[in-house]
Amino acid sequence: MAFGYHGCYLRIDASNGSAKRVPLSEDVLRQYVGGSGLGVHLLLEEGAAAVDALAPEAPLIFAFSPLVGSPLTTSAKFAVVSKSPLTERVNDSLASSGFAIAGKGCGCDAVVIVGKAPQLSVIVIEDGEVHLESAEEYRGLSCRETEAALRARLGNYRVASIGPAGEKLVRYATISHDGRHAGRGGSGAVLGAKNIKAIAVRGSRRTEWAHPRELTALSRSLSQRSFGPATAKYRELGTAANLLVFNRFGALPTRNFQSGTFEQAIDISPEQLAVTREKTRKSCMACTIGCEHIYSNGKSGVRMEYESLFALGSLCGVGDSDAVLRAAQRCDELGLDTISAGGTIAFAMECVERRWLENANWLKFGDGNALLRAIEMIGARQGLGDLLAEGSRRAAQAIGHNSIAIAPQVKGLEIPGYEPRALQTMALGFAVGARGADHNRSGAYEVDFSEKVDRRNVTLDAVEHAIATEDRAALMDSMILCKFLRGVFEDFFGEAAQMLHHVTGWDATAEELRETARRIVRAKREFNLLAGWTPSEDALPERFLNTPLPNDPEAALSRERLDALVAEYHRQRGW
Amino acid sequence: MGIFMAFQHFRAGNRLGWSNCHAIICSRLPAPMHVEFYGVPRQRAGIAELDVNAETLGQLLGTLAERIPTLRELIEGEGLNSAFVANLNGDRFLSDPETALAQDDCVLILSADAGG
Ligand code: SF4
């Protein structure tokens, strides 16, 4: 077996707590590396595409990577992979920190969970030994409370858990560890459907590195570069720095994508928050960047990312920073994906405005209290919250009035904070994304913020650039490295080959890894095809097509242009 | 307001009045062009925007480096460090130092990795 791997995964049946080790061949590991790639491969092996995402037999996979435990900066990460209950398509979300190291320390490269526990339970894994314990006493607890309670009970374990939203099967519930979330696509609901509140891991099995000295030298160089200008934005302001930039470019989604600028953007910007509040910084384990910026809000601190800021701020028209911070905090506690929560609530706010949604007149754009009330109702699936817990696509189907035209989603996944008409390469990235509208699996926005294209009038030339960002993301998510490192590489695939060589001993080349990335993208597509994908899914909601942004008439995306971009994307992919 | 005064203004705690914090460099010259800073460049500059006279992007960056020393880490030769980008009027991204600028232009300077 190659260095850096254990050469097996742990398959756990949650219905009785039994577990077995299943060997993984070196050939499979070299083809899919780890993380998202390995997770999708295992998902296909398990036949998950044909199974309902919330059925007991649906597998949920935690996949580690050969780099986990190495001195390479930002490598303490794991992928959570399953069929999404929100999109019914493939879903892979990533999270960081000690869970990855302790999980891999259990002597496996992945953990596959199937079945449904008879009562709310915690799966305890120590050095590969597995048992179930009751978690009934933690019902209704937040992720952080659950983590703390389990550590108090079990000792020095690393815990990934769901909040109340996961227990209630909210279709965009998260799995959380150490304050960070495997956020998108509803993996928390998949775990909730298995009656699993948490997974606690502890392990001491280390893997060896093929070339430890060279690995240490490369790690040092990478860490050094991670202190440089390419990551300054993340260190100094965090992703929230995007807010004023996007507002200036008319690309800040506002009031359910009715506008690309928000008149109160400055009030919720990190520049303003840093002046009026205490701020601290944190980082994931084994990270030299430290992008987490935590702002005080009353007695507590709230980690604030651009995506939460836009989704719970401008998208809902809320410019009261107290309300936005509180909303982000409640989403964290309940275990809700902030993008989908904000997107679904903003959609409902517009439906109320259009009088398509009755008995909800309290739900108005700009009303921070209404936002908070809606979040609580979603977390508890109470009243209107029961509908909104289904996500904007299903809610639109229930509401009617052709409201699907304004539901801010692709394949059912709510659109992140990039106005597609103002950033049209990103529009393509959203349309073709395997897990739906997504800025982490396609970095096409980088192309829009470059000289390569005219962002409001992109041509077919944009497609190869969009594909390149998707391929890079597929490899980064499988190795797994934080994408905030991407700016430090001059030749990512070349350096990735070196890293893998030093860790595993493989004579990997940049070209081999480019093919690996394409293979992983193809595997996701294969899953989607098996799950029933049709070409009409690679599209954007009607709202974005043919109607320019009101504040920027040049930001218009015709249906013909998007169709041509998508067709060219499929052609270049060979699909 | 000279750039030194703009710094004093910033240091004095007026960090939020972006539109008021508008320093005019070379104010004897007519109709200067406008520069806006976002994110890290704004942190380094200590101001959100200013007016400056320049005929090309290279000249503009040179002037900025001269007048605001804390911006020098962003500027390499006549261009920007690859971690930063310049944009003209919210439309077009620029890197060629020879790019001609007109007096009514607005140049935005921001981090290259705009998303994430
Ligand atoms: S840059 Fe941020 S998200 Fe990435 S590993 Fe570091 S702290 Fe975590």
Least confident of A102-116, A267-281, A469-483: A267-281
Same structural domain, A310 and A382? yes
* A89 Cα–ligand 1 center, Å: 27
Is B18 in the A-facing interface, judged by CB distances under 8 Å?
Answer: yes
B27: left (phi over 0), alpha (psi -120 to 50) or beta: alpha
Same structural domain, B6 and B37? no
> Mean pLDDT throughout A226-238?
93
- Most confident among A292-296, A461-465, B3-7 (mean pLDDT): A461-465
Cβ B53 vs Cβ B32: under 8 Å? yes
Same structural domain, A271 and A397? yes
Same structural domain, A347 and A449? no
Measured in whole angstroms, the distance separating CA B12 from the mean position of its chain's CA atoms is 21
> Mean pLDDT throughout A526-538?
97
Torsions phi, psi of B29, nearest 5? -85, 150
Does B2 score more than 60 pLDDT? no
Q: What angle do CA A320, A322, A327 make, to 5 degrees?
A: 95
- Report the candidate in A506, A438, A533 with the shortest Cα–Cα distance to residue A36: A438
Tokens of A190: 């998949």
> Mean pLDDT throughout A470-487?
96
Residue B93: the pLDDT is: 97
What ipTM was assigned to the predicted interfaces of this complex?
Answer: 0.92
A 215-234 near B (Cβ less than 8 A) = 228-230, 232-234
Is B104 in the A-facing interface, judged by CB distances under 8 Å?
Answer: no
pLDDT digits (tens, 9 = 90+) for B53-98: 999 999 999 999 999 999 999 999 889 999 999 999 999 999 999 9
Does B1 score more than 80 pLDDT? no
Least confident of A161-175, A364-378, A514-528, B29-43: B29-43
Same structural domain, B22 and B51? no
Does A287 score more than 50 pLDDT? yes
Domain range enclosing A546: 424-573
Q: Is A234 touching ligand 1 by the criterion CB < 6 Å? A: yes
Higher pLDDT, A150 or B30: A150
Same structural domain, A380 and A491? no
Instruction: Give burial (CB, 10 Å; 0-12/13-18/19+) of A211.
Output: middle
> Mean pLDDT throughout B86-114?
94
* Cis check: omega of the bond before A125, within 30 degrees of 0: no
The one-letter amino acid at A35: G
* First and final C-alpha spacing in chain A: 34
Residue B31: the pLDDT is: 53
Percent of chain A with pLDDT over 90: 98
Same structural domain, A369 and A389? yes
Does A456 score more than 60 pLDDT? yes
Does A167 score more than 90 pLDDT? yes
> Mean pLDDT throughout A388-398?
98
Number of domains observed in the structure of chain A? 3
Same structural domain, B20 and B44? no
Q: Where are the alpha helices (DSSP H) in A140-269?
A: 143-154, 164-167, 187-193, 212-226, 232-236, 242-248
Domain presence at residue B51: yes
Does B13 score more than 80 pLDDT? no
Domain range enclosing B23: 1-29
Cβ A501 vs Cβ A513: under 8 Å? no
Query: What CATH number is attached to the domain comprising B48?
Result: 3.10.20.30
Tokens of A411: 């394949």
Query: What CATH number is attached to the domain comprising A128?
Result: 3.60.9.10
- Which candidate from B40, B114, B116 shows the least CB-CB separation from A483? B116
Residue B114: the pLDDT is: 79
Arithmetic mean of pLDDT over chain A: 97
Is A487 in the B-facing interface, judged by CB distances under 8 Å?
Answer: yes
- Supply the pTM of this predicted model: 0.94
Does A30 score more than 80 pLDDT? yes
* A482 Cα–ligand 1 center, Å: 6
* A218 Cα–ligand 1 center, Å: 19
Q: Which of A414, A443, A469 is the last residue of a domain?
A: A414
> Mean pLDDT throughout A94-123?
97
Same structural domain, B37 and B6? no
- Report the candidate in A159, A125, A4 with the shortest Cα–Cα distance to residue A69: A4
- Which candidate from B15, B82, B85 shows the least CB-CB separation from A449? B85
Q: Which residues contact A114 (CB under 8 A, 6 or more apart)?
A: A11, A12, A13, A14, A46, A56, A57, A58, A59, A60, A194
For every residue of B22-67, DSSP letters joined together read: EEESSTTSSS-EEEEE-SHHHHHHSSSEEEE--SBHHHHHHHHHHH
> Mean pLDDT throughout A540-546?
95
pLDDT digits (tens, 9 = 90+) for A41-92: 999 999 999 999 999 999 999 999 999 999 999 999 999 999 999 999 999 9
Atom of ligand 1 nearest to the CA of A231: 1
